[in-house]
Structure 1
Amino acid sequence: MIEGPTSHTYFSQRLRLHYVDWGNSEAPPLLLIHGGRDHCRSWDWVAEKFRKDWHVIAPDLRGHGDSEWSADGEYSLRACLYDLAQLIHQKNLAPVTIVAHSYGGNLSLRYTGTFPETVRKLVVIEGLGPSPELLAKRADIPIDERIRKWIDEKRGLAARLPKKYTSLEEAMDRMKEANAYLSEKQARHLTVHGTHQNEDGTWSWKFDNYMRSMPPYEIEQSDLHHLWSRITCPTLLLYGADSWASNPAKDGRGDHFENAEVLEYQNAGHWLHHDQFDRFVSDVGAFIK
C-alpha cells in the first residue's frame, strides 16, 4: 500500500488554506491544481505516479476541500490568483512545474503569464475559459443585465442550503451522473474526500455554493491574450473530444501562445485525467521530464 500525503496549511488574505504534500522534498516541485467544485485529493492517482521523481504538492483552492470558505463569497480568479502566488512564494517552489485542470488551469495560465520566470513547464486541462463563441454571446448582453443576473444569482445562493445526501452511496451516484466515465473506485474516492458528514448523519459536498456564481465582468480578452503570449515555458494544452469545451487549436485561442502544443483525447470528457488516466500520465510524464 502506498503511503498517503500529509496535510498542511498556509495563509492568504486571512484565509487558512489547505494543501497536501506527497513528500520527497529534495526533488523538483510539481504543483497539481484542481478545478472548480473539486478538491486536491482528486489528484491522488496522478501524485502516486509522480511522487518518486517529484516533490508533489496539491492545494485545495479557497472554498474547496479542507480550505476555509471566503466570508464574503469571493471566488474570483483575481482572488485565487493571489492565493496561488502566495503558495509558490511562501513555500519557495519556483521554478515550479504546474499541472492544472479547468478553473485551476485558467488560474495557472494567468499566474504563469504574470510570473513567467517562476514556471518551468505547464500542463493545462481545458483551462482556457469560455470559448470565443460563448464570449461573443455574453458580450451581446448589456452590462446592467449581467450585473442584475449576478446579484439575483448571489441572492439565490444565499437562500440555498447545502444539499444533503442520506449516504455516501447516494452522493457517489450523483458523482457518477456528472461523469459517466468514472469507474466505481474513482467515484468512491472522489466522493469520500469531497464530502463531510453533517451532525444529523447526512453528507454534503465540501465546496462553498458561492463558487457557482462568477462576476458579471472579467479581465478583457485582449489582456488575457497578452498574458498567454507572455508564457515562455513549454506548455501542453489538453482537451477531451467528448467535452463541452472548445478545441483551442481550432477556435484560435492556441495562436496566442508562443510555445504550446494541443492534444485531443478521444473517449474523454472534461475530466480527461480520470477518463484516460494511463495516456494522461504517459503524456504528462514525457512532457515534464
Structure 2
Amino acid sequence: MTPHGPTSNSFISQRLRLHYVDWGNPSAPPLILQHGGRDHCRSWDWVAEELARDWHVIAPDLRGHGDSAWVPDGNYEMNAFVYDFAQLVHTLGHDQVTIVAHSLGGNIATRFTGLYPEKVRKLVNIEGLGPSPEVRARREAEGYANRFRKWIEERRASSGRIMRRYPTIEAAYARMKEENTFLTDEQARHLTVHGASRNEDGTWSWKFDPYLNNWPFEDTPEERLNELWAAIACPVLFLYGADSWASNPESDGRAMVFQDHRVIEFENAGHWLHHDQFDRFMREVRGFLQEAR
C-alpha cells in the first residue's frame, strides 16, 4: 500500500452526504470501483493501487456503508442505490466511465449501465447480478403477502436490534477471518481497521447500518431487468468464484441477455474472489480493460 493512500471526498445525493476516496492521477481515464453489501470502499485498496497507475480511480461508499451517511428510515432500496451511483457520475462530470463492481455494487452498476449505456466504456461485474433464477422462483412461490408479512416482522425485529459490539479490534478481526477463510492475515486486518469504528463505551462495531441485514422483499421484475441488461452496449466481464454461493450466469442462462460478454470462473475462490485470487484477478481485469473495443 502506498504510504499516502487515497484522499477522502464527499458528494450529496438525495440529501445524504456520501463518501468516496480518490486515488489521484486525474488526467487519466476515470474508473469507478464499487464495493458490495456490508463492505466499504477501502476494501479495494490493493486493486486501486495497481490500477491508479493507468486510471483515475474513484471508490465510493454506498449509502449506509463505510463513511457514508445512513438512511434515516433504514430503507435501502435498489433504485436509491442506482440513483446515488448516477449522481456520483454526474457530480464528477465524466462523459464516460469504466466500472469494476462487486456483488451488490455490481448489481447497481449493471443497472446504471443499462440505463445509460453511452456512459460506460467497460464493465467488470464480480458476482453482481443478484439472485439466480432458481432463487427468484423460490421466493415468488412463497407468495407476495407472505413475503410482505415476513419483511414487516423482520424489520420490526431490526428496529430494536443494536449494533453488534466487539470488545476489541482484535475480536472484530477474528470475526472477519471467520467470515472469509481465504483472507490472509494482512487482508483481514486491513479490512477490519477500515470497516469498523469505535463506540462510546470503547467497544467496536462494523460501520454499515444494521438495517442492511433486512433487505427489501420486492425488487425490479425479471423482465424489466432483462430490458436493462439487453440495452448494455459495452463489453462486460463476469467473474465468479467456484467456491462461492453465487450462481454463475453462464450456467443459469442470465449472461445470454447481454450483447457482448464473457464469463470467467476462478478456482479456489469464494464470493470475494478479488481478495481470494488477487494476482489472477488483476491479470484478467488488466487484460480486459486494455483490450481494444
Q: If the length of structure 1 is used for normalisation, what is the TM-score?
A: 0.99
Whether the 8 Å contact between 2:75 and 2:216 is mirrored in structure 1 is no
**1:8-47 Cα shifts (integer Å, max 9, x gaps):** 0000000000000000111000100000000000000000
CA distance in 2, matches of 1:215, 1:203: 27
Mapping of residues 12-27 of structure 1, within 5 Å: 12-27=13-28
**1:267-287 Cα shifts (integer Å, max 9, x gaps):** 000000000000001110111
Shift of 1:209: 0.9
2:75 alignment counterpart: 74
Give % identity. Answer: 60
Whether the 8 Å contact between 2:40 and 2:66 is mirrored in structure 1 is yes
CA distance in 1, matches of 2:86, 2:158: 29
- The DSSP-based 3-state class of the residue aligned with 1:228 is helix
The reply on whether 1:239 has 2:240 as its aligned counterpart is yes
Whether the 8 Å contact between 2:241 and 2:266 is mirrored in structure 1 is yes
CA distance in 2, matches of 1:92, 1:265: 35
CA distance in 2, matches of 1:56, 1:263: 24
**1:189-235 Cα shifts (integer Å, max 9, x gaps):** 00000000111111000000111122221111001011111100010
CA distance in 2, matches of 1:176, 1:182: 7
CA distance in 2, matches of 1:215, 1:202: 30
Q: Which amino acid aligns with 2:74?
A: G
- The DSSP-based 3-state class of the residue aligned with 2:197 is strand
Q: Which amino acid aligns with 1:144?
A: A
- The DSSP-based 3-state class of the residue aligned with 1:237 is strand
Mapping of residues 153-168 of structure 1, within 5 Å: 153-168=154-169
Shift of 1:94: 2.9
1:123 alignment counterpart: 124
CA distance in 2, matches of 1:93, 1:240: 32
Over the aligned positions, Cα root-mean-square deviation in angstroms equals 0.7
CA distance in 2, matches of 1:198, 1:219: 37
2:103 alignment counterpart: 102
1:62 alignment counterpart: 63
Shift of 1:93: 2.5
Aligned length: 289
Q: Which amino acid aligns with 2:75?
A: E
The reply on whether 1:205 has 2:206 as its aligned counterpart is yes
CA distance in 2, matches of 1:191, 1:171: 7
Gaps of 5+ in 1: none
CA distance in 2, matches of 1:203, 1:101: 26
Runs of 4+ in 1 over 4 A off after TM superposition: none
**1:117-153 Cα shifts (integer Å, max 9, x gaps):** 0000000000011011111101101111111111111
1:84 alignment counterpart: 85
Mapping of residues 175-254 of structure 1, within 5 Å: 175-254=176-255
2:170 alignment counterpart: 169
- The DSSP-based 3-state class of the residue aligned with 2:11 is strand
1:11 alignment counterpart: 12
Q: If the length of structure 2 is used for normalisation, what is the TM-score?
A: 0.97
Q: Which amino acid aligns with 2:54?
A: D
- The DSSP-based 3-state class of the residue aligned with 2:85 is helix
**1:150-182 Cα shifts (integer Å, max 9, x gaps):** 111111111110011011110011111110000
CA distance in 2, matches of 1:94, 1:191: 35
**1:91-133 Cα shifts (integer Å, max 9, x gaps):** 1123100000000000011000000000000000000110111
Shift of 1:6: 0.2
Shift of 1:74: 2.0
- The DSSP-based 3-state class of the residue aligned with 2:109 is helix
CA distance in 2, matches of 1:188, 1:75: 28
CA distance in 1, matches of 2:194, 2:131: 28
- The DSSP-based 3-state class of the residue aligned with 2:138 is helix
- The DSSP-based 3-state class of the residue aligned with 1:216 is coil
2:139 alignment counterpart: 138
CA distance in 2, matches of 1:39, 1:124: 17
CA distance in 1, matches of 2:47, 2:231: 28
